[in-house]
């Protein structure tokens, strides 16, 4: 199994528009953070997590030519507004691409991108994403592309987002906390991914200290932080984290061996 971090930035991305801070002007490539997405690969199958605005650039950089499914965490713009780029896969693969998420998330995508989910064929000479929506029940396990995927309900302000456990990997982003019901499903992890927004508390996201505390509670062998802002450079953040916890960066690949 392999985990690929396609994007690791917050909703603004890094560098932020018009910002001249040390992180935004850094020459370290690890400080160039596109909006958050990831890819899980196993046995020749690929699951994409979220479709951020930079999705085309991320997938081209990662050399991705096929997908077996897409997992949506929630419908905020920074996680879904690259959805039209999925047409490259439904056209190339000559079939409908299955997409998964909470029923409310899929319904919101259907309203916002009605041309994708209206069931009508593309106009002659044009293309559009051909997707099939599959609602997932929170805290239930589903087989997707031959992989056992467990959806985990997580609070994100006034809404609930889904995190995902796939075998030894759990990808939890845009959570304000990790409830006990979710923690109970996270024993024995090899790799944990958590959002970690700021050094100080935030109403919608785990802060960096809160993410570190949650990582220690969950006890994965390795934890990577994502959904990062320009408040700290990669090097600065890495230097202040305990052993076993590290910031992710765009393009980082974690190999987990056979699963």
Beta partners for residue 135, in sequence order: 101
N-to-C CA span, the chain: 6
pLDDT recorded at residue 258: 67
pLDDT recorded at residue 94: 87
Separation of alpha carbons 41 and 167, rounded Å: 11
Q: Burial code of 86-106, b = ≥16 C-beta within 10 A, e = fewer?
A: bbbbbeeeeeebbbbbbeebb
- Residue entry with tokens 């850094």: 26
- What are the strands of the beta sheet with 45-49, ordered from one edge? 131-135, 97-101, 69-71, 45-49, 37-42, 2-7, 253-255
Could you tell me if 62 and 251 are in contact, meaning their C-beta atoms sit under 8 angstroms apart? Answer: yes
pLDDT recorded at residue 156: 93
Separation of alpha carbons 187 and 30, rounded Å: 30
pTM assigned to the model: 0.96
Neighbours of 239 (CB within 10 A): 9
Q: For the chain, which ranges sit under pLDDT 70?
A: 258-259
164 closest CA partner among 34, 69, 60, 259: 69
Q: Is the dihedral of CA 18, 21, 25, 28 positive or negative?
A: negative
Which pairs from 125-130 meet CB under 8 Å and 24+ separation? 127/87, 127/90, 127/91, 128/84, 128/87, 129/83, 129/84, 129/86, 129/87, 129/90, 129/97, 130/87, 130/90, 130/91, 130/95, 130/96, 130/97
Task: Classify burial at 6, counting beta carbons within 10 Å of its beta carbon; exposed 0-12, middle 13-18, buried 19 or more.
Answer: buried
pLDDT recorded at residue 125: 87
Q: Which CATH number fits domain 2-255: 3.20.190.10, 3.60.15.10, 3.40.50.720, 3.40.50.300?
A: 3.60.15.10
pLDDT recorded at residue 225: 98
pLDDT recorded at residue 41: 97
């Amino acid at each position: 199994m392999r985990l690929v971090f396609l994007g690791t930035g917050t909703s603004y991305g890094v560098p932020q528009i018009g910002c001249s801070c040390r992180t935004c002007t850094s020459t370290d490539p690890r400080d160039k953070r596109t909006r958050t997405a990831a890819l899980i690969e196993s046995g020749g199958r690929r699951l994409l997590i979220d479709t951020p605005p930079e999705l085309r650039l991320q997938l081209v950089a990662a050399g991705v030519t096929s997908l077996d499914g897409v997992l949506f965490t929630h419908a905020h713009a920074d996680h879904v507004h690259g959805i039209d780029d999925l047409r490259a896969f439904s056209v190339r693969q000559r079939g409908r691409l299955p997409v998964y998420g909470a029923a409310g998330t899929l319904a919101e995508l259907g309203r916002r991108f009605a041309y994708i989910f209206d069931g009508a064929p593309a106009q002659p000479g044009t293309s559009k994403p051909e997707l099939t929506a599959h609602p997932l029940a929170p805290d239930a396990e589903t087989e997707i592309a031959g992989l056992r995927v467990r959806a985990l309900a997580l609070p994100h302000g006034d809404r609930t987002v889904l995190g995902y456990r796939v075998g030894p990997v759990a990808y939890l982003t845009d959570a304000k906390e990790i409830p006990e019901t979710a923690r109970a499903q996270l024993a024995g992890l090899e790799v944990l991914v958590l959002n970690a927004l700021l050094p100080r508390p935030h109403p919608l996201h785990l802060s960096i200290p809160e993410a570190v505390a949650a990582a220690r509670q969950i006890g994965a062998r390795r934890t990577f932080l994502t959904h990062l802002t320009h408040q700290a450079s990669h090097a600065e953040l890495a230097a202040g984290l305990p052993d076993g916890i590290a910031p992710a960066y765009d393009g980082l690949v974690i190999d987990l061996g056979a699963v």
